[in-house]
Amino acid sequence: MRRPKITKILLRNKRLLVCILIILGFAILGAIGPFFVADPLKSIGRPMEPPSWDHLLGTDIFGRDLFSWLVHGIRNSLMVGVLAGAISLLIAITLGGLSGYLRGFVGESINCIINIFLVIPVVPLLIILSTLSTQRSHLLVALFIGCVSAWPGSARAIRAQVLSLREKEFVNLAITTGKGDGSILFGEILPNMLSYIFLQFCGAVAHAMLSEAGISLIGLGPANVPTLGLMLHRAIQNLSILLGMWWWFIPPGVTLVILSGALYTISIVYESS
C-alpha cells in the first residue's frame, strides 16, 4: 500500500511535527553550540555553582561549565547515534534483504545468523569489546554499537517486508525481463521500502544513543570525549545526588529521554499513518 506524502502526514499529525522539530532543535544546538561555549574540560568558575546567568547549568566540583558539557555531549551522542544507526541499518538491509529474497539454503542460513544474534546479550558483548580497547573514541564506540546492537531486530523486520514484496507483480515482471537477483532486490524491492527503512533508522539511532549512555554509565564509553552518558557517569562518580547538585545529572538525563522518545515516536506515529 502506498504511503501518503510526508507533507500531508505532518500537516495532519501534530505529534510527528513536534518530534521532528525537537530533533532538529537538538541537532542544531549540537552542531552550532560548541562554537559558542567554553571548553567543557577546563575549569572556568567556582566549584559547585548553581545555575546562573554566567553558568546556565551551573558548574561541577571542578568548576567546569555544565552547559558546555551538555552542548558538546549532545553533539557527540548524536554522532554516535547516527553513525551506529547507519552501520546497523546497512547490516540489517544486507542480511535482512538477502534472507528475505533468496530461497533455499542460502536464505535460511542468513536467517539463522540473524536469529543467533537476536539472542546474544548485547550489553555484556559491548562491555567485552570496550574493555579490549584502551583508547575508546566516540567513533570506535559507535562502530561497536552498530556492529552488535540494534541490527538483528531491524534485519528481521526488513526480512518480513522483503518476503511480502517478493511475491508482488512488479517483482515477477522484473524476473521475466531477465534482471538479476541483486538488481531486483536493491533496484526494485528496497526502493519501495524507503519509508520503512527510515523508521528503522530512527529506532536504531535512539537505541545507539541509549546503548552509549548505558556503557558510559559504568565507565566503558568514550574516554575523555564529552557525551551525555559520560556526563551522567561523572555526576554519579562524584556523588552529585548526595551533594544536591541536581543541575549535574538531571539535564543530560532529560535530554536523553526527550531525544530518544522523539525518535521512537516518529517511527511509531509515521508507521501508523
Domain membership of residue 32 (yes or no) is no
Domain membership of residue 27 (yes or no) is no
d(CA 66, CA 9) in angstroms, rounded, equals 38
Domain membership of residue 24 (yes or no) is no
Domain membership of residue 147 (yes or no) is yes
Determine contact, residues 69/231, Cβ cutoff 8 Å.
yes
- For 165-182, the pLDDT digits (tens) are 888 888 888 888 878 777
Mapping DSSP to helix (H, G, I), strand (E, B) and coil, where does residue 162 land? helix
pLDDT at residue 186, as a whole number: 83
pTM for the model? 0.87
Determine contact, residues 245/12, Cβ cutoff 8 Å.
no
| Residue 157's CATH number | 1.10.3720.10
pLDDT at residue 10, as a whole number: 54
Residue 134 has pLDDT above 50, yes or no: yes
Burial of 133 (0-12, 13-18, 19+ CB in 10 A): middle
Quote the distance between the C-alpha of residue 85 and its chain's center: 5
What's the domain count of the chain? 1
The values of phi and psi at residue 59, to 5°, are -130, 165
Domain membership of residue 217 (yes or no) is yes
Domain membership of residue 14 (yes or no) is no
Categorize the per-residue pLDDT at 2 as very low, low, confident or very high, splitting at 50, 70 and 90. Answer: very low
d(CA 180, CA 91) in angstroms, rounded, equals 21
Query: What average pLDDT does range 261-269 have in this prediction?
Result: 83
Q: Is the dihedral of CA 196, 201, 206, 212 positive or negative?
A: positive
Mapping DSSP to helix (H, G, I), strand (E, B) and coil, where does residue 252 land? helix
Over the Cα atoms of the chain, what is R_g?
Answer: 22
Query: What average pLDDT does range 184-198 have in this prediction?
Result: 84
Determine contact, residues 57/247, Cβ cutoff 8 Å.
yes
pLDDT at residue 257, as a whole number: 94
pLDDT at residue 259, as a whole number: 94
What would the grid cell of residue 162 be? 522483503
Domain membership of residue 28 (yes or no) is no
pLDDT at residue 18, as a whole number: 87
- For 73-115, the pLDDT digits (tens) are 999 999 999 999 999 999 999 999 999 888 888 889 999 999 9
Domain membership of residue 74 (yes or no) is yes
Q: Which domain holds residue 102?
A: 60-272
What would the grid cell of residue 14 be? 501534530
| Percent of residues in the chain assigned helix, strand, coil, to nearest 5 | 75, 0, 25
